[in-house]
């Protein structure tokens, strides 16, 4: 067997469950690929090779365990794992072994997933760049904070990896790395056992190379196995383009990406694709998200700030101090605002639209020295708690991938996956259609 | 100094911040009391005497740290603490030392609170009785799952202790132990670092002997320091009595408690106190809560169920199996129902009522052999996410305390505290007025 590492999660699972390929062979292909590429990509904070092989052998011998039977998976190092060190991207937690798995990790193992290793996260999933590079060009960032997961999937090291998004940490790296990233509805996947930044915003999700792959991942992570089956839409959706109030930040390649998306949308939509402005209840959404995040981080990391201030980066210390300076009145006001904004958007989805298309990032991945990129096009959607999925759609002047995100109404995760599949199948570039 | 252990948290904080008493003396009084009573009450799973004394000495020498300066606190053993073993009430986690504090514990320490020890919880905060007894009669349960916290506060071992409620684990033990228990709005206090049962339901809160005490506790645990100052209401509230659909479970003493509460309510309310039925969107609330809880527990404890089934009680194993048998369709339906019920209740509070009065438990504390009591009168309010506070109001045939709960509209935590203070001050029994 050759090139097993290039199978999508969906293809691999099909072959594994028919016993056409072995979990051990798939795992070894992934390990080979990691061996070839890791010195450049630096996607992994730890690998559990021996445990993974033991697990794969047992799965090859035993009955089919579940949705992820025999699939090697990368887990963002923000998620607790009982058998792999869990650093949260911070030197405070070097060699830290939690006593349990995060709930979503336990559910993936229960479904037969093989946790191959932990992928690099930025420091507590905040903004300081980690060591990981973009597999398309090692001079560029893979995005953050789910840097290692996005890079590992894009580099064919694993077919599936977990991420988390508090501002733009799934959708942005997926766009920068040219893969599919799925941030389901807020609360769809348990946050238990994932280092907490913001109770209001932290959303778990995953990366894959196809819509079917991320559907499988979130089905297992959430326990909602209905999500695993994705069909194209039976009815034409009403689609709108939402350039958002941050459109002035969009670079040439993102403007192109939205133009392409508009053409694709027109080919699959019911009626005209319109430019949609969010209801006025949403004015100031991005700013409110940023304040809520800073305010909550200053409390979530109170323990580390109190006991290990010297092990926190100057950038994070500044964030914590800025957050502590936001008054509780302001924070409470922002939460109330967010609640009204959610109502406003829910009404919009009820009455006018089924799917929104929006930029995933200002442009292609910045150079490493310039940080992990700006989450500005994701902050608002994260605060609204809506399901979002990134699809690769074009590339920029440096030849790096550029994506767009599809967004569905509250709780419409399954519908979003179907819409994304339909959309991907209508892309002009046949190679990109493989994302479906 | 004598009897410092009988000071309320509010009294103690006042004296501590004026340097009229020393944190070390208060701590020693609490330790003495524990020494006298613990063999009977069995409230503690571990004590951190030396660390607590070191901390108290430092606080006595240094500047005033914050809201809880020098106050000894009991922490339910469901909350992670970096310096005390954290068992979650399960033999799986004997001698388990987490690497961090739960966020709310870190915030209490930041505010100058002294974590004296961990209080007994039932197994993963579920239904199997723990060893703790009711300080009013050791033949009876203190309630669960926050058994040790409620008993420790009622027994004057500490002025303040943390709890958590997924079904009825704060309000019910507070009622059985005759103290004030405050379950603030869902999400008010971060759940990070507290063993997760149900993302939809888990709510952190605390126990004290006065309304001011629990206000202080939740102010520190949440970071919303505005809650710490509680004044009586300036305007008369509209009060309703909600016997709930479980009223047939109310025993004689709870019927009496509601009758007394009605008289008190009439003396402080604007207009007539009416019997209120929840809107029809709430029909089936208690049953939906029970299903959501079981379904989510079966996922939250997937790790333990997979790896340590023999260390789980038969009762919990049955719960996990029952939960796993609830279909995701049913679970999703229950979540949608809950969301509509919340809207219905929010509208009720907007239009008709400021405060609801409801039973806290079917009656006084059952005998130890009969379990930790039924959370039936709490399940619905927990699912609705509304702030609830228990006040002691009468006693039953066995001479054990019986409480009622006051409930306010969504997010009205501060208002609820003021209403509870006003209500307590109007109680006929002067001793019970001290709860204000």
For residue A358, give the 3-state DSSP assignment: strand
Find, in chain A, the residue whose alpha carbon is nearest to that of B303: A106
- Over residues A368-408, the pLDDT tens digits come to 999 999 999 999 999 999 999 999 999 999 999 999 999 99
pLDDT exceeds 60 at position A103:
yes
Q: Give catalytic status of residue A295 as yes or no.
A: no
Q: Which of A98, A200, A299 sits opposite B223 (nearest CB)?
A: A299
Helices B103-110 and B211-222: crossing angle, nearest 10°? 110
Query: Is B152 within 8 Å of B44 (Cβ atoms)?
Result: yes
Nearest to B299 among A190, A191, A306 (CB): A190
Unique residue bearing structure tokens 């070894």: A28
What's the gap in Å between the CA of B223 and the closest CA on chain A?
A: 7
Tell me which of A42, A76, A183, A195 is the catalytic residue: A76
Cα separation, B400 vs B178, whole angstroms: 8
Q: Which of B82, B98, B302 sits opposite A106 (nearest CB)?
A: B302
**One-letter-per-residue 3-state SS of chain B:** CCCHHHCCHHHHHHHHHCCCCCHHHHHHHHHHHHHHHHHHHCCEEEECHHHHHHHHHHHHHCCCCCCCCCCEEEEECCECCCCCCCCCCCHHHCCCCCCCCCHHHHHHHHCCCEEEEEECCCHHHCCCCCCCCECCECCECCCCCCHHHHHHHHCCCCCEEEEEECCCCCHHHHHHHCCEEEECCCCCCCCCCECCCCCCCCEEEEEECCHHHHHHHHHHHHCCHHHHCCCCCCCCCCEEECCCCCHHHCCHHHHHHHHHHHHHHHHHCCCCCEECCCCHHHCCHHHHHHHHHHHHHHHHCHHHHHHCHHHCCHHHHHHHHHHHCCCHHHHHHHHHHHHHHHHHHHHHHHHCCCEEEEECCCCCCCEHHHCCCCCCCCHHHHHHCCCEEEEEEEECCCCCEEEEEEEECCCCHHHHHHHHHHHHHCCCCHHHHCCC
Residue with tokens 């996607």: A43
Pairwise CA distance, residues A432 & A394, whole Å: 9
Q: How far is A91 from chain B (nearest CA, A)?
A: 13
Q: Looking at residues A294-317, what average pLDDT do you find?
A: 98
Q: Report the residue from B99, B109, B303 with minimal CB separation from A100.
A: B303
Residues in chain A, overall count:
436
What is the rounded CA–CA span in Å between residue A271 and residue A179?
29
pLDDT at A1 over 70: no
CB-based burial of residue A83 (10 Å sphere; 0-12 exposed, 13-18 middle, 19+ buried)? Answer: middle
Q: Does A192 contact B200 at a Cβ distance shorter than 8 Å?
A: no
Residue A169 appears among annotated catalytic residues: yes
Q: Does A2 score more than 70 pLDDT? A: no
pLDDT of residue A271: 87
Query: Is the model's pLDDT at B1 over the cut of 70?
Result: no
Residues of B forming the active site: 76, 145, 169
Name the strand (E) or helix (H) holding A44: strand A44-47
- Sign of the CA dihedral with A236 first, then A412, A410, and A436 last: negative
Q: What are phi and psi of B348, to 5 degrees?
A: -60, -45
Chain mean pLDDT for chain B? 97
Element housing A403 (H / E) = strand A401-408
Q: Which residues contact A434 (CB under 8 A, 6 or more apart)?
A: A209, A210
Minimal-distance CA residue of chain A relative to B101? A303
> Is the pLDDT confidence value at A107 over 90?
yes
Q: Is the pLDDT of residue B235 over 90?
A: yes
Chain B residue with minimum CA distance to A330: B224
- For the question of an ipTM over 0.95, the answer is yes
Q: Is A333 a catalytic residue?
A: no
Average pLDDT over every residue of A215-233 = 98
- A303·B329 Cβ contact <8 A: no
SS3 A377: coil
- Specify the 3-state DSSP secondary structure of A162: strand
If you average pLDDT over every residue of chain A, what do you get?
97
Q: How far is B400 from chain A (nearest CA, A)?
A: 37
Q: Has this prediction a pTM greater than 0.90?
A: yes
Residues in A whose CB is inside 8 Å of some CB of B read 82, 93, 96, 98-101, 103, 106-107, 109-110, 187, 190-193, 196, 199-200, 223-226, 296, 299-300, 302-304, 306, 328-329, 332, 336, 411
Q: In this complex, do B192 and A196 lie within 8 Å of one another by their Cβ atoms?
A: yes
Percent of chain B with pLDDT over 70: 100
Please report residues of A whose CB lies closer than 8 A to that of B164: none
Nearest to B190 among A187, A199, A223 (CB): A199
Strand bridging mode B355-359 / B401-408: antiparallel
A240-263: average pLDDT: 97
Whether residues A303 and B101 touch (CB distance < 8 A) is answered with yes
Q: How confident is the model at residue B2 (pLDDT cuts 50, 70, 90)?
A: low
The pair of structure tokens assigned to B375 is: 């959370």
Number of neighbours of residue A233 by Cβ within 10 angstroms: 17
């Amino acid at each position: 067997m050759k090139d097993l590492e290039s199978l999508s999660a969906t293809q691999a699972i099909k072959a594994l469950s028919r016993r056409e390929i072995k979990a051990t062979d798939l795992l070894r292909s992934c390990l080979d690929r990691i061996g070839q590429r890791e010195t450049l990509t630096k996607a992994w904070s730890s690998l559990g090779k021996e445990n993974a092989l033991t697990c794969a052998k047992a799965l090859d011998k035993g009955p089919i365990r579940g949705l992820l039977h025999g699939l090697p998976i990368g887990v963002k190092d923000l998620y607790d794992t009982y058998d792999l060190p869990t650093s949260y991207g911070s030197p405070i937690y070097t060699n830290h072994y939690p006593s349990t798995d995060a709930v979503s990790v336990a559910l993936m193992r229960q479904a037969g997933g093989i946790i191959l290793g932990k992928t690099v996260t930025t420091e507590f999933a905040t903004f300081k760049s980690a060591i990981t590079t973009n597999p398309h060009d090692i001079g560029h960032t893979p995005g953050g904070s789910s840097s290692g997961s996005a890079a590992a999937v894009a580099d064919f090291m694993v077919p599936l990896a977990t991420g988390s998004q508090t501002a733009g940490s799934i959708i942005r790296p997926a766009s920068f790395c040219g893969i599919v990233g799925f941030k389901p509805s807020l609360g769809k996947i348990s946050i238990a056992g994932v280092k907490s930044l913001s109770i209001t915003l932290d959303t778990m999700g995953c990366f894959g190379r196809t819509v079917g792959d991320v559907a499988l991942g979130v089905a297992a992570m959430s326990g909602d196995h209905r999500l695993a089956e994705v069909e194209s839409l039976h009815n034409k959706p009403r689609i709108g383009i939402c350039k958002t109030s941050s459109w002035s930040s969009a670079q040439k390649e993102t403007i192109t990406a939205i133009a392409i998306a508009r053409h694709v949308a027109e080919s699959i939509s019911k009626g005209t694709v319109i430019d949609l402005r969010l209801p006025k209840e949403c004015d100031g959404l991005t700013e409110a998200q940023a304040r809520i995040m800073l305010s909550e981080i200053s409390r979530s990391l109170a323990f580390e700030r109190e006991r290990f201030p010297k092990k926190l980066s100057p950038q994070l210390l500044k964030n914590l101090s800025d957050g502590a300076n936001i008054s509780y009145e302001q924070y409470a006001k922002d939460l109330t605002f967010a609640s009204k904004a959610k109502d406003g958007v829910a009404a919009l989805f009820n009455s006018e639209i089924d799917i929104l298309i929006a930029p995933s990032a200002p442009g292609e991945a910045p150079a490493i020295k310039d940080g992990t990129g700006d989450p500005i096009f994701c902050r608002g959607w994260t605060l609204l708690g809506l399901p979002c999925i990134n699809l690769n759609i074009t590339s920029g002047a440096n030849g790096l991938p550029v994506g767009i995100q599809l967004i569905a109404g509250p709780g419409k995760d399954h519908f979003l996956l179907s819409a994304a599949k339909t959309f991907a199948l209508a892309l002009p570039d046949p190679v990109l259609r493989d994302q479906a």
